[in-house]
A and B are shown apart, each in its own frame.
Chain A
């Protein structure tokens, strides 16, 4: 091992360029109906490097990766692997060429064992028919050891944590001894410790000469891990930087094409009357004794770990769950909320945690999604007033700067940030008094994120009472006037923005006594 590294080091002195180029994309273009997803993009990946790919949502990262993985075919340009021009027309072909994509969404079978998942579609067989389980488990065990995994090959996959399932996904790629591995947002659902383990694995792959493409929105990770950074913006190539010779500001500017002004000026809000008052809310086994209030014009952040019960509290307030105890008062009135439509009638809005599963009907147009929550306002004697619908959508398209070819465009084809804006537009169009946003910027690029943060502050200024549930501390600190910390189903502490420190916040959400 040491000698190999030394040879590599010696070569790098003698040879230019330093490392061998494994994979090269030249002038690649791809057009979808109505959208030019990629326009003349170049990318080269060297053996033994981590090459980060950066871009806002909708910049074309995913399209580029799907071309690499053989899921899409480029309209123009070429893919060159180890000096040979290749055409990859299916994921299997890409795999045979040694290019493997580790998906953002896991594609595993929960009811099979770890080993079966690792060798899925590639089972070592006996007499071409029978699977030798012991052999399978042994080989899987070797790979798991290499990845420092603590679970057994015979474990049922569904019993593993998301992080460990991700390891299984990586193990599955390693079976093919890949030349290039593409990681698409691998840390989105990992804890800090799991992240460290994953980075160790990625570094080990790099040492062994694999070329790694790493896609992430998280700047700190990219600077920690990568050797070079390539930036995409609106489907065009913005250049490649040596990580050691650049900084966050430079790449961010390249990525969004403008300066971010992330600092939101906090003026003391002008508070109106109490809009929402929650008293002693509880559901057995989920959370207990939740009491807080939100005043008009105020943003209250709910901060805590995943599973602390924040989402469940919000869903109860919104009428999606039935509380065992406690009361919810909206604008001083104690009306029962037993369904979301009751909640909407009382002026509540909920931008849910998962925009694809809970927020949007993806097959419907932007306009139809925008008016879905208050379609009755747009109907007269049961008939829809389409013109009024269009007007309201176009109003929010402009206000929220939704990038979309038109009102009939299906939300399925929008980027994550724009999808989220449609969901927000949907709720704003109901003219709510209280707006709850659950993880409003999850999986959204820096640019849209900052726009949404500004929007939240603007909304509060107009007298809306806003609740923001978030797992990201910078987000909570940026948007909130007050912060409620939750741990294990209860509220541990409430902070005023002026008195909060990162340290006390961390203590509050991990159940440590302050």
Chain B
């Protein structure tokens, strides 16, 4: 775990870290534990197995998307199109379910989702356009495509009881809800890819210093392209969970998700400048956001308080991160 969080450094003992630096390195874990403790003490229902899976379920959709987006961000780019891509993919898979059957619907959904990811990847990787602008444009473009496709109507699956499509969102395996399982398995797999594969290493390199990576013979354009394919893929997985759980979809079901996803990634300490980050920390970041959401509801606050609290949590996280790098809490200039 120590090595995974990147704190290993020979020649320096952990005892040499100031409290602030310690918090900068392990702050996300501390915050996680703090959240669990506070909500457990404040409500009696928080610390039950039942509620635990509720939290993981809530986190699974945003979390699954965040796994792919973490790769994009480590590579030095942004992906703001994932929210409306989720709407598109969910509408597509739900609508096609009755028309062509679940199997073909899923395949078609992934084909079109990856196609959109490829367009992002081509524009940003090969044409080297600014990722913020490309994906922001893509965000509204996909919203348009979704509305044109559905004609503005909500879609749903007619026979909700007798379709194996229910597996992804409604069933359990060994007592673990399938959405949580998808999230966890995908998370572990991608963490290993990030840390142990040549591909992961190259993503760190292009995000850390694209020029040096180019001079070292890495194909930067192809690598950036593949990160967008990856974020489209995980968004497709999230659509599978969402469509299966609701068995229907509104045209704007993923609206605002891109910010929650990005919030989870940032909270996990992945640098928006690229070159550093970790899947596990993204997972913890997303879980913290879901816990806050869940805990506030249990405490009886109206659901919109979570937006404000989420914002505060992110600002504090980013501030502590920068403070730890500076070595002090307040800048004198």
Residues of A within 8 A of B (CB): 33-35, 89-92, 320, 339-341, 343-344, 350, 352, 357-364, 368, 372-376, 378-379, 382-384, 386, 405-406, 408-409, 426
Residue with the greatest number of chain A CB neighbours at <10 A, chosen from B9, B10, B215: B215
Interface string of B189-200 (1 = CB under 8 A from A): 000000011110
Check A361 against B208 for contact (C-beta < 8 Å): yes
13 CB-based A-B contacts, threshold 8 Å: A34-B11, A90-B333, A340-B216, A341-B217, A361-B275, A364-B205, A372-B218, A375-B198, A379-B198, A382-B197, A384-B196, A384-B198, A406-B10
Pick the contact of B198: A33, A90, A359, A382 (CB < 8 A). A382
| Chain B minimum-CB-distance residue to A427 | B216
| Chain B minimum-CB-distance residue to A348 | B217
B218 cross-chain contacts in A, Cβ below 8 A: 341, 372
Check B209 against A357 for contact (C-beta < 8 Å): yes
Check B197 against A364 for contact (C-beta < 8 Å): no
Check A357 against B12 for contact (C-beta < 8 Å): no
Residue with the greatest number of chain A CB neighbours at <10 A, chosen from B201, B208, B216: B216
Q: Contact size class for B?
A: 20 to 34
| Chain A minimum-CB-distance residue to B9 | A408
Write the nearest CB–CB distance from A269 to chain B, whole angstroms.
28
Check A382 against B199 for contact (C-beta < 8 Å): yes
| Chain A minimum-CB-distance residue to B215 | A358
Known contacts A340-B216, A341-B217, A341-B219: A89-B9 contact under CB 8 Å: no
Check A91 against B217 for contact (C-beta < 8 Å): no
Check A364 against B208 for contact (C-beta < 8 Å): yes
The complex places the Cα of A344 from the Cα of B218 at a distance, in Å, of 10
Interface string of B212-230 (1 = CB under 8 A from A): 1111111100000000000
Check A372 against B216 for contact (C-beta < 8 Å): yes
| Chain A minimum-CB-distance residue to B199 | A382
B211 cross-chain contacts in A, Cβ below 8 A: 357-358
Write the nearest CB–CB distance from B4 to chain A, whole angstroms.
13
Check B215 against A359 for contact (C-beta < 8 Å): yes
The complex places the Cα of A96 from the Cα of B75 at a distance, in Å, of 42
Pick the contact of B205: A91, A372, A406 (CB < 8 A). A372
Residue with the greatest number of chain A CB neighbours at <10 A, chosen from B10, B199, B201, B205: B201
Check B333 against A372 for contact (C-beta < 8 Å): no
A426 cross-chain contacts in B, Cβ below 8 A: 216
A341 cross-chain contacts in B, Cβ below 8 A: 217-219
Write the nearest CB–CB distance from B331 to chain A, whole angstroms.
9
Majority SS at the chain A contact face: mixed
Known contacts A362-B208, A384-B197, A406-B10: A350-B215 contact under CB 8 Å: yes
Check B199 against A363 for contact (C-beta < 8 Å): no
B215 cross-chain contacts in A, Cβ below 8 A: 320, 340, 350, 352, 358-359
The complex places the Cα of A363 from the Cα of B198 at a distance, in Å, of 17
Pick the contact of A405: B11, B332, B333 (CB < 8 A). B11
Instruction: Judge whether B311 is part of the interface by a CB distance below 8 angstroms.
Output: no
Known contacts A368-B201, A372-B218, A384-B196: A409-B209 contact under CB 8 Å: no
Instruction: Judge whether B77 is part of the interface by a CB distance below 8 angstroms.
Output: no
B198 cross-chain contacts in A, Cβ below 8 A: 375-376, 378-379, 382-384
A352 cross-chain contacts in B, Cβ below 8 A: 215
The complex places the Cα of A91 from the Cα of B212 at a distance, in Å, of 32
A357 cross-chain contacts in B, Cβ below 8 A: 209, 211-212
Write the nearest CB–CB distance from B41 to chain A, whole angstroms.
36
Check A320 against B11 for contact (C-beta < 8 Å): no
A340 cross-chain contacts in B, Cβ below 8 A: 214-217
The complex places the Cα of A368 from the Cα of B200 at a distance, in Å, of 12
Check A33 against B212 for contact (C-beta < 8 Å): no
Q: Which of B1-60 contact A (CB under 8 A)?
A: 8-12, 16
The complex places the Cα of A360 from the Cα of B9 at a distance, in Å, of 19
| Chain A minimum-CB-distance residue to B13 | A33
Write the nearest CB–CB distance from A96 to chain B, whole angstroms.
12
Write the nearest CB–CB distance from A399 to chain B, whole angstroms.
20
| Chain B minimum-CB-distance residue to A410 | B9
The complex places the Cα of A426 from the Cα of B209 at a distance, in Å, of 15
Instruction: Judge whether B113 is part of the interface by a CB distance below 8 angstroms.
Output: no
| Chain B minimum-CB-distance residue to A358 | B215
B276 cross-chain contacts in A, Cβ below 8 A: 363
Known contacts A90-B333, A384-B197: A362-B217 contact under CB 8 Å: no
Check A360 against B214 for contact (C-beta < 8 Å): no
Interface string of B54-80 (1 = CB under 8 A from A): 000000000000000000000000000
Instruction: Judge whether B202 is part of the interface by a CB distance below 8 angstroms.
Output: yes
Check A361 against B10 for contact (C-beta < 8 Å): no
Write the nearest CB–CB distance from A86 to chain B, whole angstroms.
16
The complex places the Cα of A360 from the Cα of B216 at a distance, in Å, of 9
Residue with the greatest number of chain A CB neighbours at <10 A, chosen from B197, B209, B217: B217
A374 cross-chain contacts in B, Cβ below 8 A: 217
Pick the contact of B219: A339, A378, A409 (CB < 8 A). A339
Write the nearest CB–CB distance from A439 to chain B, whole angstroms.
14
| Chain A minimum-CB-distance residue to B221 | A339
Instruction: Judge whether B122 is part of the interface by a CB distance below 8 angstroms.
Output: no
Write the nearest CB–CB distance from A51 to chain B, whole angstroms.
28
Residue with the greatest number of chain B CB neighbours at <10 A, chosen from A320, A361, A368, A382: A361
The complex places the Cα of A33 from the Cα of B205 at a distance, in Å, of 24
The complex places the Cα of A363 from the Cα of B211 at a distance, in Å, of 14
Check A343 against B217 for contact (C-beta < 8 Å): yes
* Further 15 A-B residue pairs, CB within 8 A, beyond A358-B215, A405-B11, A406-B11: A34-B12, A89-B332, A339-B217, A339-B219, A340-B217, A350-B215, A361-B204, A361-B208, A363-B208, A364-B205, A364-B208, A368-B205, A372-B216, A382-B197, A405-B10
